[in-house]
A and B are shown apart, each in its own frame.
Chain A
Amino acid sequence: MNKILEKKALSDVTKLMVVEAPQIARKARAGQFVIVLIHDKGERIPLTIADYDREAGTITMIFQEVGKSTMQMGTMQVGDSFKTIVGPLGHPTEIEKFGKVICVGGGVGIAPVYPIARELKEAGNYVISIIGARTKELLLWEDKMRAVSDELIVTTDDGSYGRKDLVTVPIKEILEAQPGQIARIWAIGPAIMMKFVAATTKPFNVPTIVSLNTIMVDGTGMCGGCRVLTDEGARFVCVDGPEFDAHRVDWNSLLSRMAFYRSEELQAVERWRKSHECKLESAVAKGVE
Chain B
Amino acid sequence: MAESTRKKRVKIPRQDMPVQEAEDRVQNFTEVALGFTLELARLEAERCLQCKEPKCMEGCPVEVSIPEFIEAVRSGDMAKAVRIMKDKNNLPAICGRVCPQEVQCESRCILGKKGEPVAIGRIERFVGDFELEKNTFEVTRGPSTGKKVAVVGSGPASLTCAVDLARLGHDVTIFESLHTPGGVLVYGIPEFRLPKAVIRSEIETAAKALGIQILTDHVIGRTLTIDELAAQHDAIFLGTGAGLPMFMRIPGINLNGVMSANEFLTRVNLMRGYQFPDFDTPVKVGRKVAVIGAGNVAMDSARCSLRLQSLRGGAKGGEVHIVYRRSPAEVPARLEEVHHAEEEGVIFDFLTNPVEILGDDKGAVRAMRCIRMELGEPDASGRRSPIPIKGSEFEMEVDQVIMALGTSPNPLVFINANGLERSRHGTVVASQDTGRTTMEGVWAGGDVVTGAATVISAMGAGKRAAADIDLYLKGETKW
Contact surface of A with B, Cβ cutoff 8 Å: 23-24, 27, 37, 41-44, 68-69, 83-89, 217-218, 220-225, 227-229, 233-234, 239, 250, 252-253, 256-257, 260-261, 264-265, 267-268, 271
Contact = CB atoms under 8 A, between A and B. Distances in A.
A188 B409 CA distance: 31
B254 interface: yes
A260 B363 CA distance: 10
A27 B222 CA distance: 8
A86 B267 contact: no
B281 A267 contact: no
A139 B253 CA distance: 37
Nearest to B260: A224
Interface residues of B, number: 42
B433 interface: no
A221 B187 CA distance: 14
A43 B282 CA distance: 9
Interface stretch (B242-250, B297-305, B375-383): B242-250
B272 interface: yes
A68 B411 CA distance: 32
Interface string B232-275: 00000000000111010100011011011011001100011000
Of listed A41, A43, A224, A271, residue having the most chain B CB within 10 A: A224
Contacts of B257: 260
Nearest to B178: A218
Given A85-B217, A256-B363, A268-B280, A224 B223 contact: no
A223 B271 CA distance: 12
Interface of B: 177-179, 187, 216-219, 222-224, 243-245, 247, 249, 253-254, 256-257, 259-260, 262-263, 266-267, 271-272, 276-282, 284, 362-364, 410-412
Contact of A257 (B256, B263, B284): B256
Contact of B244 (A44, A68, A222): A222
A87 B222 contact: yes
Contact of B259 (A37, A85, A225): A225
A63 to B, nearest CB: 15
5 contacts: A86-B177, A221-B411, A256-B363, A265-B282, A268-B282
Contacts of A42: 279-281
A11 to B, nearest CB: 24
Given A37-B179, A221-B243, A256-B363, A89 B277 contact: no
A237 to B, nearest CB: 12
Contacts of B219: 86-87, 89, 220
Contact of B254 (A68, A218, A239, A253): A253
A221 B284 contact: no
Contacts of B412: 220-221, 239
